[in-house]
Structure 1
Amino acid sequence: MKTVNMLEAKSALSRLVEDVELGREPQIIIARGGRPVARLVPLEEVAPVERRIGVAKGAFEVPDDIDTYNDEVAALFNGGGA
């Protein structure tokens, strides 16, 4: 495990990221005043989450008067009174 001070990390960030990205270093610890404060590690591949439009269809009922208070709510958000 490689440890670098903050000044070195700042001046060589691209190289340090490349070292971690390519697996030359599994992680790099960044220290300030000799005390570890951060860890540079590669990101794990995250599978994209598939979102389906209409996934909640039929899960709830929208009342007919849903728009009744739109003006009042807008006035409250804009600093007006009810």
Structure 2
Amino acid sequence: MEVTMRVVGAFEAKTHLSELISAVEAGEVVTITRRGRPVARLMPVAENNAGRAASVERIRSLRAGLAGISCRDILSARDEGRR
């Protein structure tokens, strides 16, 4: 599925929000600009959730790698590095 990208100014986005939401529901990504600079992005929630799920999984794997390391161990290592 090819994602279409549309760029609109903030005033146009405010004026045509319903139309932009319909476009996003159809899979389009809309970048909103202010004075020509991108400031926000409207995108389908499904795409956003996929990234969020991957981030949560990365955090879980990092936490699993820390199993068995106590807070005291971490603080001790920090203090060692300061000497």
Q: TM-score, normalised by structure 1?
A: 0.50
Larger radius of gyration: 1
- More helix by proportion, 1 or 2? 2
